[in-house]
Structure 1
Amino acid sequence: MTTDDQANRALRPAVILWAFSGLIGIPAAVYFDLLGGWRWPPYNAIYDQMIVSVYFALGVCAARAVKNPIRHGSFLWFVAISSFTHGLVMLFHALHDPAHLHHLFGDVWILAGGVSLAWPLWRSRRADDGV
């Protein structure tokens, strides 16, 4: 088994999860917000539509990357890093301001999504990914 095959095998579950999350999970979480933590108060439908459209586009691209994730390394690094930083910012606000504590139950979990991609990407040590 080649290094690329091993990397694809390690990345595929995370990429499938990101595809599902972007196409179905995050839009549902934002619109239904059952646990709280996905909407930024005060409620703004235009902001929600913008966030959902960005994550939906991410889901479409992740779905395209499922077959051969390592070929989409730069995209996956973008998803990993942007998700990790998004989660850190939300963690800061959740811990800094009690009004945003509910984000611990919502989008702070996106930190784990960033790590789920970064770890296998880093382990594959692909020089052509630019990271």
Structure 2
Amino acid sequence: MNHAARIAYLRIALIGIGLIALVCFYPLMIVWPSGWAWHTGYSDYPLMIVGIYATLGVFLLIAARNPLEHLSLIWFTVWSSVVHGTIMAVQSLMHDEHRGHLLGDVPALFIVAIVLAVLTPRGETARTLRRAAWLKSSC
């Protein structure tokens, strides 16, 4: 896959993930609580986590316009998804009542991390592409 196609797919992934984070988490907590909600009954947790992911979703949508200018946000999303998913996987295995998360939000976080990590340029490739984009925009 050439660099232009990879960036185009990265933009699509950022838009998809951004929209999902922005509008889907709360409905998933309601429709499939055993796979997406970590608390039953009244809790401040759902609104807090929805607020965090909705904010991330907005910024991922912004990053989709020019992913090369937002690499740190994209890599934050990759690594925070890996860390969050790992912690949730361990907690799901330790507590029977949370096993449903192994089919819900845990794999979703790992899928987000894998998709973004595969599509996001890194190292010298990222630096070269950023320079080329900057030169193109300044001409």
Give the TM-score of the pair, scaled to structure 2.
0.77
Partner of 2:126: 126
In structure 2, the CA distance between the partners of 1:9 and 1:94, relative to structure 1 (3 Å rule), is same
Q: Deviations over 1:48-90 (max 9, x none)?
A: 1100000000011011111211211000000111011111111
Whether the 8 Å CA contact 1:37–1:102 is kept in 2: the answer is: yes
How does 1:10-49 map onto structure 2 within 5 Å? 10-30=9-29, 32-34=30-32, 36-49=34-47
1:126 is matched by which residue type in structure 2? A
Moved more, 93-102 or 53-62: 93-102
Identity among equivalent pairs (%): 30
RMSD: 2.3
Q: 8 Å contact 1:81–1:118 — kept in the other structure?
A: no
Structure 1 outlier segments of 4+, above 2 Å: 41-45, 122-128
Which is higher, the Rg of structure 1 or of structure 2?
A: 2
Q: Distance in 2 between matches of 1:105 and 1:96?
A: 15
Whose RCO is larger (CA < 8 A, sep 6+)?
A: 1
Q: Secondary structure at 1:66's aligned position in 2?
A: helix
Partners of 2:91 and 2:70 in 1: CA distance: 32
Secondary structure of 1:45's aligned partner: coil
1:56 corresponds to: 54
How many corresponding residue pairs? 125
Structure 1, gaps ≥5 residues long: none
